[in-house]
Structure 1
Amino acid sequence: MLKMLEKNSLRGVSVVIPTINRAAVLVKTVRDMLNQQFDDYEILIVDQSDEINAEVLDLIKQIDQPRIRYFKANFKGLPQARNFGWRHAAKDVVLYIDDDIRTGTDLVRSHFESHIKTGADMVAGGIDEAGDKPSHLPTGSFNWWTATPIANFCATTASWCIHGKGCNFSVRRSALGTVGGLDEVLSIGAALYEESELALRLYKAGKRTWFEPSARLLHLAAPMGGCRVTKDWPRYMFGLAHNRSILIFRHLKPWHRPTALLRLLMLGLSYSRLDQSPRPLLATLRGLTAGRRAAAMSPLNAELDAIECTSC
């Protein structure tokens, strides 16, 4: 009875949009979110850009019932922005989307109703991206032998899973509080696996994740801005190795680690071939060492400062 009451007493959705230096695509994303066919939701934009987005401020002034809260962050980092968002959320479900998505009018409703219907603590939404094709692998699964999250979020069959993808997943705010939010140490490089590491901590804490394909969006994967690391392969491999090592040493059983570490070293070697130098492999080794140290520490969730703007 208590579980049923808890499922049916959720109050609304806080949509958190981390963004950095993507003014043009952000405005289109925000317009899509303002068109949602759902009443009880708010939009929190956590902007780490160099300049304030004047067009978003104009949107805020135009709407009759202020639904958008716009924060100009004094920090950098994707997990930092996600943590700031849920700590300032007023609703019970926190929906994370990227700043470069397009979606129909039912995204927020589909996430909320999936939490109600299934009792899930996390809901992974459906994602369409260029080049994606459904695979035979279970959606949102995790390969423990290689420490590799399996995506397949373009699939159309709902199911229980282990993790969601950063551009479209929602979590109960109470569950985020239970596990301490995202680990801000994972902001290194392209912030790879930051949402996977959160999902694995939820999984270990007995929380459940549901894949809901109807909670769907198109991820544009915009090339500008964001936290991408392109062509600087040593830097990319340091961040990848650091963050994957946290998965390996924090979440894998001892008998899974040898093959996962071998897979990581093979990745470093392949990027050294691409770079035609040993630097990516050496960066992989450095990242592995630093990540192993970080895995032994508690997840970082620091005090973060931002200015809430209405007419900044």
Structure 2
Amino acid sequence: MIILIHQNAQQVVKVLKGKTEIKISATHCTIAFWELAEKYPEEIIAWCEEKYSADLNLAQWPKVFYQDLIMASYAIENVFLPDSIGYIDQLPFVNVKREVLFPTWQMSSDVGGIKGESLLKFKPLFEGIDEFDYLLNSIAKIGQQNGLFCYSAPGLVIQISDKKLKNTATSSQLFSFIYQYYNTIWLSVLFWCYWRYENKLPIKAYLQAFFEKKCFLQKVDLSGIKIQSNKIPKTSNSIDVIIPTMGRPKYLMQVIEDLSLQSLLPKKVIVVEQNPDVNSISEFPELESKIWPFEIIHHFIHQTGACNARNIALEEVDADWVFFADDDIRLKTDLLDTGIKELKRLGADCLNLNCKQEGEGVVFHKIKQWGSFGSGTSMVKSHFTKNCEFSKVYEHGYGEDADFGMQLRQLGCDIIYHPEIEILHLKAPMGGFREKPILAWEQEKPLPKPSPTLMAFALKYYTPQQIKGFKTSLFLKFYNIQKIKNPITYIREMNKRWKKSEEWALDLMKEE
């Protein structure tokens, strides 16, 4: 490991290789960063503010950098961008939980590192950036979209910080960053939010941003860097499958048959069948009458709702891994085996598999950190699922899978999307008794907007700025698809609907 010790993310103080000080020609951080990557491509190129150098937990660094496509930092006192980034970005990577390893592209110059070989892939794009914090965040923002795994890693230091973070970016740097790495429309949204919520008009910063080079859709090819986790596996290959189902006997039995043909057989397949008719009988007698190459656990219940069903199934899990499956998918025979192998190769704790309908193309082509969670398409280490549950706040609504994903992240479980492991989604029709129930708030006038379940998710996981940004973008997107065209009348009406949604969401959250 090579450690670049600096002052205020500008001046190089010294460079260490182990305990030995080495000489370099550069005296400025960004220039030194590239120079070290060129000289030591096989080493972790680390950085540390001088006053924190005694707090480095170097014995733990190999556990953070367990494969070569990882960039990690930890904000002890300083973070680059202000909380106002939340006005235009509502993804989980913005609101970081600092106590656990947490996925984020927000890097701090306080302490961090990246493999030299990986860093060099970004040199053609970012060599002209002078400001060190701006450079680190630029690398991570574009890198995360292209397969670089980026983290806030408390394991880098001995003492986890509980200090309130200070942001170092100027207004001009913030607006420039947004213009470069987001769709251009978000620059105007940010300007509006500054005026509306902070009573500021950063006109100069707004206008200057348009002179920056656009990097929003830049591609960086990291495919030449081999990923092979050096973690020592603490888990076996055992995997349980959980499937909630309701009124889809033909489709569910196809899934069970596909599982019976897997090259890596599940330990258990846990089916939770729902039918609200208390006088009904199960549609799956063959689950218990036929001999299967795994244990079948079949719950037949008269309470509907996927959240409740999945929680019942999770209580039965005792394998090292869990596959969350839908009841209308088709699986290749090597899916479970390939999934476990990839989890261990990547050193990951959760894979979100590529679930496509017939004839549908691949949208995202690279293995990458994922901002969501698929409750019917994911493989997760059961160590984490034992401490999570599907919240009844979202029952019959929307957001339960996103909420479960956030619970995983807050336990230190990153979610990785894998485009090459595919599931065919048949998208079975609802029909039968699968009609969606009419929810209480759907009788309200005005109708709550957004859905109270989505509002509950926002209130639970968003920063205040993210909530305001969510509100702003919702109002803008909804305007063209509704009947009120007078902007003043529209805003007045939407504020009523927003308030109604907040009231319902708070009521729902009381039940947790």
Could you tell me the TM-score, scaled by structure 2's length? 0.46
Verify the 8 A CA contact 2:239 2:266 in the aligned structure 1: yes
- Report the counterpart of residue 395 of structure 2 in structure 1: 187
Verify the 8 A CA contact 2:265 2:294 in the aligned structure 1: no
- Corresponding letter in the other structure for 1:33: L
1:216 partnered with 2:427: no
* Long gaps (5+) in structure 1: 136-154, 301-312
Root-mean-square deviation (CA), in Å? 3.5
Verify the 8 A CA contact 2:370 2:415 in the aligned structure 1: yes
User: Distance in 2 between the 1:184 and 1:293 partners?
Assistant: 12
Which of 321, 331, 334 is the matching residue for 1:106? Answer: 334
Query: Larger Cα Rg: Structure 1 or Structure 2?
Result: 2
- Report the counterpart of residue 24 of structure 1 in structure 2: 250
- Pairing of 1:1-150 with structure 2 (within 5 A): 4-5=231-232, 7-10=233-236, 12-49=238-275, 50=277, 51-54=280-283, 56-63=284-291, 65-129=293-357, 132-135=360-363
Deviation per residue, 1:94-145 (Å, 9 max, x gap): 111111111211222233223322332221011112574444xxxxxxxxxx
1:289 partnered with 2:495: no
Compared with structure 1, are the counterparts of its residues 114 and 238 closer, same or farther at alpha carbon in structure 2 (3 Å cutoff)?
farther
Which of 356, 365, 370 is the matching residue for 1:161? Answer: 370
Verify the 8 A CA contact 1:92 1:173 in the aligned structure 2: yes
1:242 partnered with 2:452: yes
Compared with structure 1, are the counterparts of its residues 270 and 235 closer, same or farther at alpha carbon in structure 2 (3 Å cutoff)?
farther
Deviation at 1:80, TM superposition (A): 1.2
Deviation per residue, 1:221-251 (Å, 9 max, x gap): 212258674999x849769611211221111
Deviation at 1:45, TM superposition (A): 0.5
Compared with structure 1, are the counterparts of its residues 19 and 293 closer, same or farther at alpha carbon in structure 2 (3 Å cutoff)?
same
Deviation at 1:212, TM superposition (A): 2.0
Verify the 8 A CA contact 1:97 1:166 in the aligned structure 2: yes
Please say which of residues 96-105 and 166-175 is displaced more in the overlay.
166-175
* Long gaps (5+) in structure 2: 1-61, 64-229, 485-489
Compared with structure 1, are the counterparts of its residues 271 and 46 closer, same or farther at alpha carbon in structure 2 (3 Å cutoff)?
farther
Deviation at 1:22, TM superposition (A): 1.5
Moved segments of 4+, more than 3 Å: 1-5, 50-54, 130-135, 225-232, 234-240, 262-274, 280-288, 292-295
- Report the counterpart of residue 150 of structure 1 in structure 2: none
Please say which of residues 62-71 and 253-262 is displaced more in the overlay.
62-71
Q: Tell which has more relative contact order, 1 or 2 (C-alpha 8 A, sep 6+).
A: 1
User: Distance in 1 between the 2:383 and 2:316 partners?
Assistant: 13
Corresponding pairs, count: 269
Please say which of residues 116-125 and 222-231 is displaced more in the overlay.
222-231
- Corresponding letter in the other structure for 2:357: E
Compared with structure 1, are the counterparts of its residues 65 and 231 closer, same or farther at alpha carbon in structure 2 (3 Å cutoff)?
closer
- Corresponding letter in the other structure for 2:329: I
